[in-house]
Amino acid sequence: MVPVPGSGNARFQPLSIDDWVRAFMKILKDTSACNEIYEFGGPGHLTYNEILQIIMKEMGIKKPLVHIPVGLVKAGIPLTYLFRKLGMKIPPVSAEQLNLLQRDNITDIDSMERLFGFKPEPFEKAIKKAV
């Protein structure tokens, strides 16, 4: 199984590192960009569940997503430190990270094209390249 804190319905907008660097380089070259705020985002709004399913598909993983109440996961955070000291491979997580997984973190779908003049690569394509 793949544990998912909460419902997994919060929306995100993954952006490939190649597109992030491309946009960042344009900002560095633009002298008028000083003190500006830019919202970077990929070409689609995906839920956390969808992101996990796409990654699992590309990696050939066939396991069910199991949703765990966030409060229960937060209560277990102190135990993860102990388990890691005992040699168990448990990724570190903070209460703040769990809170962020419960909230949408998106911008306009066309923000990259509007601000930087290019359409970013779809998440599925970027994951295929990464895997």
pLDDT value, residue 36: 84
pLDDT value, residue 37: 87
For 17-48, write each residue's pLDDT tens digit: 999 999 999 999 887 877 888 899 999 999 99
Q: What is the pTM of this model?
A: 0.87
- CATH fold for the domain made of 2-69+104-130: UDP-galactose 4-epimerase; domain 1 (3.90.25)
Domain limits of the chain? 2-69+104-130
* Pair 122, 42: CB distance under 8 Å: yes
Pairing mode of beta strands 2-5, 65-68: parallel
For the chain, where are the E strands, in sequence order? 2-5, 11-12, 46-47, 65-68
